[in-house]
Amino acid sequence: MRINRAFRLAVGAVAVAVTAATAGCGGGSDQTALESAQEGKLTIGIKYDQPGLGLRNTDGTYSGFDVEVAKYVASKLGVQPDAITFKEAPSAQRETLIENGQVDFVVATYSINDARKEKVDFAGPYYVAGQSLLVREDNKEITGPDSLAGKTVCSVTGSTPAQNIQKKYPDTQLQTYDTYSLCLEGLNSGAVAAVTTDDIILAGYASQSPGKYKVVGEKFTTENYGIGVKKGDKETRDKINDAIEEMISSGAWDTAFQESVGKAASYETPQPPAVDRY
């Protein structure tokens, strides 16, 4: 009897532990973003490690173009900046965070594509990015992808930009690392001649070190950045689309871009996108 009782207690303890662990992993909400906004608060997913776009600063504040877009949208939903909780949204976790209700929406260099639209809906686009090149300020030889022949170009292992270089520019020597910070180290040392990924991400890196780097050439791919929301939440998507259009028409979009990445990176504000109300 003592053995059976001990066994039952052990099983019960495991069940409690599993339940607690499961609850801890969730922490989400069934509310829509508009319902959260009506309560005067929002949780928004952003990147924490992309200077000029989404960056968690050492003092605990947040900065970047995505952050400014998020704040503007939140204000149009009736939520002030001090009532926003920013949550890190790494690329691989963005759909999960939205589906589980751990964030109300995501503004994190989030390219709209068909595979993602099977899981979440998108407002926007609020920016049309494209693959480009970052070089040292004193580099006069590289002016775009057609001037890369014989040059060493760095990107992240397994990334779409790396694959594009391999396929479209075979005369280029591709160097890949796990992070773009390592690519920048290579650029600083002269081990690589250019770094490649989305133009606005490169402009963000340039903005961190004014006068050290520059973005060159025209964009040679197209990436539509959208704001991810729960699948089927048309009301929230429509409200966010309204906010994006107002941000663009009011001039706030241009101001946010220039103050985040444009001035420091000597990068002109591009033509704003047309919102896709599919």
Q: What is the pLDDT of residue 216?
A: 92
Tokens representing 263 are 């001035």
Sheet of 84-88: strands edge to edge?
84-88, 42-46, 105-106, 223-230, 120-129
pLDDT digit string (tens) for 55-112? 999 999 999 999 999 999 999 999 999 999 999 998 889 999 999 999 999 999 998 9
Task: Determine the Cα–Cα distance for residues 190 and 202; give it in Å rounded to an integer.
Answer: 17
137 pLDDT more than 80: yes
Mean pLDDT across 186-207:
92
Q: What is the pLDDT of residue 265?
A: 61
pTM of the model: 0.78
How many CA atoms within 13 Å lie on the side-chain side of 9? 6
Kindly report the backbone phi and psi dihedral angles of residue 147, in degrees, each rounded to the nearest multiple of 5, phi listed first. -105, 20
Instruction: Report the DSSP beta bridge partners of residue 215.
Output: 134
Q: Quickly tell me which residue has 């039952």 as its tokens.
A: 8
Q: What is the pLDDT of residue 264?
A: 59
The residues, any chain, with a CB within 8 Å of residue 12's CB and separated by 6 or more, are: none
22 pLDDT more than 60: no
Range in 61-70, 196-205, 235-244 with the lowest mean pLDDT: 196-205
Instruction: Answer whether the bond into residue 161 is a cis peptide, omega within 30°.
Output: no
> For residue 204, what pLDDT band results from cuts at 50, 70 and 90?
confident
Percent of the chain exceeding pLDDT 90 equals 67
Q: What is the pLDDT of residue 266?
A: 64
44 pLDDT more than 70: yes
pLDDT digit string (tens) for 247-278? 999 999 999 998 988 765 667 788 899 999 86
pLDDT digit string (tens) for 23-40? 334 457 789 999 999 999
Percent of the chain exceeding pLDDT 70 equals 88
